Amino acid sequence: MKQLLTSLLDLIFPPRCEVCRKNSQAAMCQDCFIEIKYMKPHLGIHSVSTYEGALKEAIHRFKFKNRKRLADPLGLLLVNYLSHIPSINMQEIDAIVPVPLHQRRLKERGFNQVALVAQIMQKYFEVPVLPALERIKDTEAQFDLAREERFHNIKEAFRVNHNHSVADKRVLLLDDIYTTGATIAECSKCLKTAGAKRVEILTLSRAVEHQA
């Protein structure tokens, strides 16, 4: 019965790709998925691709339009990316730590987009997601700030939640967009101060600064 209802609904409202709106069972169709070209790691930072095109649209809709089903393809993208780069071996990682949202932002959005994709990675690699970081400063949106302001804005914005110890652990720090690196640097510092043995950095995308 449920199956019949699903196929009837599919007939009336065919499932579409969240990015290009073509008919697609998956939240991101194959064409959009392969449009995303992988980037080489840069100075120890691993980002799947630049923040533009299909990836930008997917992250934007996921975060701001509440399209939670995009967690699946975005998680899969990270899994696929990691299988292509030799510099992070998930068998040598003890925990995935998502960059947290402040409690106020979390209430507003209802979910932490980074934690959702981390869960997809957890399922695939069998490496636990550890909510080891807390955002204690309700910072202004980094996006609107100049570079130096971003570093100042984010200072002391995080702390380690000692219920989820990172002591002696090899940690994969995960975020959605890498811009100036201020957030990542601050989180990484917190984790190391709390005794993390190693911190690897992975982001879904990297913002590109266009020259004027």
Least Cβ distance, residue 14 to Zn ion (angstroms): 13
32 vs 145, beta carbon nearer Zn ion: 32
Least Cβ distance, residue 207 to Zn ion (angstroms): 22
Least Cβ distance, residue 70 to Zn ion (angstroms): 11
The answer to whether residue 32 forms part of the interface with Zn ion (CB under 5 A) is yes
Phi (first) and psi of residue 80, to 5 degrees: -65, -45
Count of residues of this chain found to bind Zn ion when the rule CB under 5 A is applied: 5
CB–CB of 70/197 below 8 Å?
A: no
In the block, tokens 């339009």 appear at 65
- DSSP bridge partners of 37: none
x/- mask, Zn ion, residues 1-30, rule CB under 5 A, reads: ----------------x-xx--------x-
29 vs 99, beta carbon nearer Zn ion: 29
31 vs 168, beta carbon nearer Zn ion: 31
25 vs 103, beta carbon nearer Zn ion: 25
- DSSP bridge partners of 174: 98, 202
- DSSP bridge partners of 16: 23
- The CA R_g of the chain, rounded to the nearest whole Å, is 18
**Of 174, 101, 193, the residue nearest 139 (C-alpha):** 101
Least Cβ distance, residue 116 to Zn ion (angstroms): 20
Least Cβ distance, residue 58 to Zn ion (angstroms): 9
The answer to whether residue 36 forms part of the interface with Zn ion (CB under 5 A) is no
- Give every CB contact of residue 127 below 8 A, 6+ residues apart in sequence: 90, 93, 94, 95, 96, 121, 172
Residues lying near Zn ion in the complex (CB under 5 A) are found at 17, 19-20, 29, 32
